[in-house]
Amino acid sequence: MRFDIDSYREIADSLVRNRSRSLLTGFGVFWGIFMLLFLMGGGQGLKQIISANFTGFATNTSVMIADRTTKPWGGYKQGRRWNMTYTDVARLKIMMPELETVTPLVSNWGQEAVNGTNTVSANVKGVYADYSNIEEPIIKYGRYLNESDILHERKVCVIGKRIYTSLFPDGGDPCGSLIKVGPVYYRVVGVDYNSGNMTINGSADESVVIPLPIAQKVYQRGNNIDLLCMTGHNGVKMSSLEGRMRSIMAREHNFDPQDKDALFVINTEQLFAIIDNLFTGLSFLIWLVGLGTILAGIIGVSNIMMVTVKERTTEIGIRRAIGATPRDILSQIIMESISLTLVAGSFGIVFAVLLLSLMEKIVGSMLTDVPVTPNFQIGFWTAVVAAALLTLLGVVAGLAPASRAMAIKPVDAMRDE
């Protein structure tokens, strides 16, 4: 296609002559591209907000909780209580090599943590050092518990964010300070800023984490544990291991392997799969609505261009009579269509960017507890692809009107005049 100054002047004159139609049709394209980009940015920000609630939590985790039996088994009546023990940890490690981490947890709710005159209610968690593979801490000060703390049964602790701000309102590094939790004094070795909403036996920011042997003795738990947390090696689906885990635990503790109420298993892999499927469906809906709106606008552009060609039959016939080639007519009509869609679409892109930027600031100021700042903004290349899509659709919208314009014969056009 060949374009010169006169061609562009003719295109501009045509758009001005049909400005009311152009504005009406351009609004459809504007609204379509705005809807698509705005929904894409909004969906991206929403996904980040929801995903932030699972920050630091392993996506391939299973948690086992012992409860009352609901079926009789091996001479035992239903309704029997049973407890998991430390022996179960070693048993699962040996019998299930697919498991990467098998770690117990003991907790004690409603303990009072004290530092001088500052007091706060806390949840005490007794864990091993490898519990960090289950809930990954975000260490602000100091460190997490290590194997030496467990081996030597040190009275040390890692405190959550809310515990830290309540007991140390002046801020600063609290590591080395002593706090009293229940009847025992512990030395603070770390501050965990993980504030994700997906936690085990209490939120991380309200917890005091201590070595498991200390919790076992202080709270007189004997050989019993509250929870058993596991993660699988890369590529292992924890849902496929649930049957074997139930069989191993049922054989050792004498309950029906099919009694799912006796052993409650939480599989986070399934939860994350549900969330992924939710956002996959949301993305499909966004593209369906956005592209549908854009196509409606493009159809409007094609119809308006068709009407414009009909009204300019005489003009096109005269141009053909004085030497304009079909290629010149095709170029002008398609360029008019592209110009209309690009101008309207560019305004839609700019408006979507501005509105998403405003939304990002408003939502960011409201969600102060979210560990990450949600990004509602679309990327640069997304805008470039949107502009390229508009150009392509502008060409498509102009093909039918251009074909009709090229079919106009000078003699017929003069006769119509």
Tokens of 178: 């002593």
Q: Which of 226-235, 236-245, 403-412 has the lowest mean pLDDT?
A: 403-412
What is the 3-class SS of 57-123, one letter each residue?
Answer: ECCCEEEEEECCCCCCECCECCCCCCCEEHHHHHHHHHHCCCEEEEEEEEEEEEEEEEECCEEEEEE
Name the residue ranges covered by the structural domains of the chain.
5-54+273-416, 61-269
Confidence band (pLDDT; 50, 70, 90) for 99?
Answer: very high
> pLDDT for 10-51, tens place per residue?
544 554 455 555 555 667 788 888 888 888 888 888 877 776
pLDDT for res 332: 76
DSSP string, 213-259: HHHHHHTT-TTEESEEEEEEPTT--GGGGHHHHHHHHHHHHT--TT-
> What was the pLDDT predicted at 272?
74
243-252 pLDDT, tens digit per residue, is 899 999 999 9
Q: Is 203 exposed, middle or buried (0-12, 13-18, 19+ CB in 10 A)?
A: middle
Q: Per-residue confidence at 178, pLDDT binned at 50, 70, 90?
A: very high
Instruction: Output the pLDDT for position 98.
Output: 92
Q: Which of the given ranges, 12-21, 93-102, 358-367, 403-412, has the highest pLDDT on average?
A: 93-102
pLDDT category, 325, cuts 50, 70, 90?
confident
Over 80: is that where the pLDDT of 366 sits? no
Query: What residues have CB less than 8 Å from 42, skipping those under 6 apart?
Result: 356, 359, 376
Task: Tell how far CA 162 is from the center of its chain.
Answer: 25
Mean pLDDT, residues 97-114 taken together: 91
Q: Higher pLDDT residue, 4 or 97? A: 97
Whether 219 contacts 248, CB under 8 Å:
no
The confidence score (pLDDT) of residue 340 equals: 79
pLDDT given at position 376:
82
Q: Which residue has the higher pLDDT, 279 or 104?
A: 104
pLDDT grade for 388, boundaries at 50, 70 and 90: confident
pTM score > 0.75 for this model? no
Q: Which helix (H) or strand (E) holds 139?
A: strand 139-142
Name the percent of the chain lying above pLDDT 70. Answer: 83
Tell me if 240 sits within 8 A of 156, measured CB to CB.
no
Q: Which amino acid is at 10?
A: E
Which residue in the block uniquely carries the two structure tokens 């003795």? 217
Rounded Cα distance between 238 and 122, Å, is: 31
Asked if 294 and 396 count as a contact pair (C-beta separation under 8 A), the reply is no
**DSSP character for 135?**
B
- The rounded distance, in Å, linking the Cα atoms of 34 and 40 is 10
pLDDT in tens, 281-320: 888 888 888 888 888 878 877 777 777 777 666 777 767 6
Quote the distance between the C-alpha of residue 112 and its chain's center: 36
